[in-house]
Amino acid sequence: MLFDLLDHWRAGTPKPDKVGWLGRVAYAHRGLHGGAVAENSPSAFAGAIAKGMGIECDVQRSSDGLAMVFHDYELDRLTTESGPVSARTAADLHKLSLAGSSDPIPTLRDLLNQIGGKVPLLIEIKSRRESRYSALCLAVRRVLEGYRGEHAIMSFDPRVVRWFAIHSPLSVRGLVVTEEDAKALGGKIKRRLALWHARPDFLAYDIRDLPSAFAAGQRKRGLPLLTWTVRSAEHRDRAAEHADALIAEGAGVA
């Protein structure tokens, strides 16, 4: 009871008309990728749009301050180049081809233009403890200004979510959560402190942690619950029982 009161005080719930769209579709994790189609690529996003799925993507900041759609902090896994994404300009990054394909690394503006409001978009903002997270938040907010399609930002970093709560309060914002090996008291306290600091409109929860008493409690009091990464039929069944929408890839896509 005490925690419920503190949750309502420190991290209130959003109005239903602000977040009601979140649960209407399933989301393609980094677009519909696989085989010759690279993750977070224009081709992967086109596949999701054609299927009528929402899109989940990741963003990093280029050296000249643009929001780039790319998951890793380093280029090594997803391109033939190496080194940090943050050391390259947007123009240099756009010249690189993704993971055995001819698709370039898109900017967030490229993606918004491609979607054009046809499907909802979840933007995961990547950050490290030592990173200039506020600069990336500002770069994302600038691109989103005037975009009328359904969209939300989300992050594992409660500082990012809090930044949008303060500087862009009309934006829908989510806290990404994984319990991993922190299921004891220390982990429970850390999750609640992250919730209170972030003040999110929804949670995006690790499917491996569901069912979760913490997630269920937040969902019950009015925070929509999304879950990632759904990769199987069993995951889909679990998501249907414990969450409002799924973020899926591979065999998890119905």
Condensed to tens digits (0 to 9), the pLDDT of residues 145-160 reads 999 999 999 999 999 9
State the pLDDT at residue 180: 85
pLDDT at residue 183 greater than cutoff 90: no
CATH code of 2-252, in short, is 3.20.20.190
Q: Can you tell me the distance from the alpha carbon of 96 to that of 91, in angstroms, rounded to the nearest whole number?
A: 9
State the pLDDT at residue 124: 98
First-to-final CA distance of the chain: 39
Confidence of residue 9 (pLDDT cuts 50, 70, 90): confident
**DSSP string of the chain, one letter each residue:** -HHHHHHHHHSPPPPHHHHGGGGSS-EEETSS-BTTB-TTSHHHHHHHHHHT-EEEEEEEE-TTS-EEE-S-SBSTTTSS--SBGGGS-HHHHHTSBPTTSSPBPPBHHHHHHHHTTSS-EEEEEP--TTS-HHHHHHHHHHHHTT--S-EEEEES-HHHHHHHHHH-TTSEEEEEE--TT--SHHHHHHHHHHHHHH--SEEEEEGGG-S-HHHHHHHHTT--EEEEEE-SHHHHHHHHHH-SEEEE-GGG--
Q: Can you tell me the distance from the alpha carbon of 248 to that of 8, in angstroms, rounded to the nearest whole number?
A: 30
Q: Of 131, 121, 67, 112, whose CA–CA distance to 94 is shortest?
A: 67
State the pLDDT at residue 2: 67
pLDDT at residue 80 greater than cutoff 90: yes
pLDDT at residue 72 greater than cutoff 90: yes
Check if the beta carbon of residue 58 is closer than 8 Å to that of residue 71: yes
CB atoms within 10 A of CB 51: 14
Structure confidence by residue, pLDDT tens digits, 198-252: 999 999 999 999 999 999 999 999 999 999 999 999 999 999 999 999 999 999 9
